[in-house]
Structure 1
Amino acid sequence: MKMRHRNLDEEEEDGSDWNERQFNGFFLIFTSLLAVVFVLGKFLHDRPRLQSALPEAGLTVIVGVAASAIIWLVAPHLYDADLVVNDPKYGSDIRDIANGLLSFSPTFFFGILIPPIIFNSGHHINKRLFFRHIKPILLYSTAGTFINIIVMAVLLNALVKADLTGEFKPHFSELLVFGSLIASTDPVAILAVFQKKRVDPQLFYLIFGESVLNDGVCLVLFDAFSMIVGGEGNFNGPVDAAWSILADFLISFTGSMCLGVASGLGVALVLKFVDMRQCRLLETSFYVLVMYLPFFAAETIRLSGIVTILFTGISAQHYAARNLSMGAQDDTDVFFRIISHIAEVAIFLELGLTVFGLGLTSFEDFCIEFFLWSLLVCLVGRACSIYPMTFLFNLSCNHTKGNQNMMDELDAEGSLAYTTLNDQTAESSDMSISYNKAHMLWFSGLRGAVSYACAKNFPDDYGNHFYFVNITMLIVLVTVFVMGGLNEPFLNFLRIETGVDEKEYMGKYKEPDNLFRILDRGYIRPRVIRDYKKRKSSYNTEQIKHRISESAMNLTRSDSVEVTLDEHRQLLNILAANSLGYRQASIYDYGAEDSIDI
Structure 2
Amino acid sequence: TAEFIRLRSCMVGQGDPLHTLGSLATPKPTPKPILPGAGVKAQEEEQSSGMTIFFSLLVIGICIILVHLLIKFKLHFLPESVAVVSLGILMGGFIKIIEFHELANWKEEEMFRPNMFFLLLLPPIIFESGYSLHKGNFFQNIGSITLFAVIGTAISAFIVGGGIYFLGQADVIYKMSMTDSFAFGSLISAVDPVATIAIFNALNVDPVLNMLVFGESILNDAVSIVLTNTAEGFARDDNSMVTGWETFLQALGYFLKMFFGSAALGTLTGLISAIFLKHFDLRKTPSLEFGMMIIFAYLPYGLAEGIKLSGIMSILFSGIVMSHYTHHNLSPVTQILMQQTLRSVAFMCETCVFAFLGLSIFSFPHKFELSFVIWCIVLVLVGRAVNIFPLSYLLNFFRDHKITPKMMFIMWFSGLRGAIPYALSLHLGLEPIEKRQLIGTTTIIIVLFTILLLGSGTMPLIRIMDNEESQSRRKSKKDINLSKTEKMGNALELEHLSELTEEEYEAQIFQRRDLKGFMWLDAKYLNPFFTRRLTQEDLLHGRIQMKTLTNKWYEEVRQGPSGSEDIEDENELL
- Bin for the TM-score computed over the shorter chain: 0.7 to 0.9
Aligned to 1:112: 120
Amino acid at match of 2:247: A
Aligned to 1:62: 86
Shift of 1:236: 1.8
* Alignment check: 8 A CA contact 1:230 1:462 kept: no
Aligned to 1:573: none
After the TM superposition, which residues 144-543 of structure 1 pair with which residues of structure 2 at under 5 Å, given as runs? 144-165=152-173, 168-195=174-201, 198-229=204-235, 233-234=239-240, 236-360=242-366, 365-395=367-397, 397=398, 428=399, 430-463=400-433, 464-495=435-466, 512-530=514-532, 532=533, 535=534, 541-543=536-538
CA distance in 1, matches of 2:419, 2:546: 45
Shift of 1:300: 1.3
CA distance in 1, matches of 2:183, 2:474: 38
Q: Cα distance 1:452–1:206, how it changes in 2: closer, same or farther (>3 A)?
A: same
Shift of 1:551: 6.5
Q: Cα distance 1:137–1:264, how it changes in 2: closer, same or farther (>3 A)?
A: same
Amino acid at match of 2:408: A
CA distance in 2, matches of 1:452, 1:498: 37
TM-score (norm 2): 0.77
Amino acid at match of 2:540: K
* Alignment check: 8 A CA contact 1:190 1:487 kept: no
CA distance in 1, matches of 2:453, 2:513: 39
CA distance in 1, matches of 2:61, 2:548: 39
1:51-74 per-residue CA deviation (whole Å, 9 max, x = no partner) reads: 42x321111112222222222232
* Alignment check: 8 A CA contact 2:122 2:349 kept: yes
RMSD over equivalenced CA pairs, Å:
3.0
Match of residue 45, structure 1, among 68, 71, 74: 71
CA distance in 2, matches of 1:224, 1:549: 52
Pair member with larger Rg: 2
CA distance in 1, matches of 2:541, 2:518: 34
Runs of 4+ in 1 over 6 A off after TM superposition: 496-500, 551-556
CA distance in 2, matches of 1:292, 1:553: 31
CA distance in 2, matches of 1:519, 1:203: 23
* Alignment check: 8 A CA contact 2:164 2:176 kept: no
Q: Could you tell which deviates more after superposition, 186-195 or 384-393? A: 186-195
Pairs aligned (count): 478
Shift of 1:435: 1.5
1:435-461 per-residue CA deviation (whole Å, 9 max, x = no partner) reads: 111111111211111101111122323
After the TM superposition, which residues 70-89 of structure 1 pair with which residues of structure 2 at under 5 Å, given as runs? 70-75=94-99, 77-78=101-102
Answer yes or no: is 1:36 the counterpart of 2:62. Answer: yes
CA distance in 1, matches of 2:71, 2:315: 30
Q: Cα distance 1:45–1:189, how it changes in 2: closer, same or farther (>3 A)?
A: farther
Q: Cα distance 1:160–1:20, how it changes in 2: closer, same or farther (>3 A)?
A: closer
Aligned to 1:24: 50
Amino acid at match of 1:132: Q
Shift of 1:545: 3.1
Q: Could you tell which deviates more after superposition, 512-521 or 308-317? A: 512-521
Shift of 1:229: 2.8
1:148-206 per-residue CA deviation (whole Å, 9 max, x = no partner) reads: 111122222333334332xx222333211110111111132332344455433233222
Amino acid at match of 1:528: F
* Alignment check: 8 A CA contact 2:428 2:436 kept: yes
Consecutive unaligned residues of structure 2, counting only runs of 5 or more, are 1-36, 480-494, 496-510, 556-574
Amino acid at match of 1:356: F
Aligned to 2:139: 131
1:383-402 per-residue CA deviation (whole Å, 9 max, x = no partner) reads: 1111111122123x2xxxxx
* Alignment check: 8 A CA contact 2:186 2:228 kept: yes
CA distance in 1, matches of 2:381, 2:512: 37
Aligned to 1:585: none
Q: Could you tell which deviates more after superposition, 67-76 or 172-181? A: 67-76
- Give the SS at the match of 2:239: helix
* Alignment check: 8 A CA contact 1:125 1:314 kept: yes
* Alignment check: 8 A CA contact 1:147 1:384 kept: yes
Q: Cα distance 1:44–1:162, how it changes in 2: closer, same or farther (>3 A)?
A: same
* Alignment check: 8 A CA contact 1:33 1:63 kept: no
Q: Cα distance 1:285–1:195, how it changes in 2: closer, same or farther (>3 A)?
A: farther
Shift of 1:46: 3.6
* Alignment check: 8 A CA contact 2:157 2:182 kept: yes
CA distance in 1, matches of 2:96, 2:369: 22
Shift of 1:481: 0.6
Shift of 1:470: 0.6
* Alignment check: 8 A CA contact 1:119 1:312 kept: yes
CA distance in 2, matches of 1:204, 1:515: 21
* Alignment check: 8 A CA contact 2:140 2:519 kept: no
- Give the SS at the match of 1:327: helix
Aligned to 1:567: none
* Alignment check: 8 A CA contact 2:183 2:231 kept: yes
- Give the SS at the match of 1:233: coil
CA distance in 2, matches of 1:255, 1:130: 21
1:115-134 per-residue CA deviation (whole Å, 9 max, x = no partner) reads: 11111111111111112222
Q: Cα distance 1:102–1:33, how it changes in 2: closer, same or farther (>3 A)?
A: closer
TM-score (norm 1): 0.74
- Give the SS at the match of 1:366: coil
Shift of 1:325: 1.1
CA distance in 2, matches of 1:512, 1:239: 45
1:463-510 per-residue CA deviation (whole Å, 9 max, x = no partner) reads: 41111111111101111111111123223434587879xxxxx9xx97
Q: Cα distance 1:19–1:155, how it changes in 2: closer, same or farther (>3 A)?
A: closer
CA distance in 1, matches of 2:351, 2:375: 30
Shift of 1:47: 4.2
CA distance in 2, matches of 1:334, 1:163: 52
Q: Could you tell which deviates more after superposition, 175-184 or 100-109? A: 100-109
* Alignment check: 8 A CA contact 1:235 1:241 kept: no
Shift of 1:135: 2.1
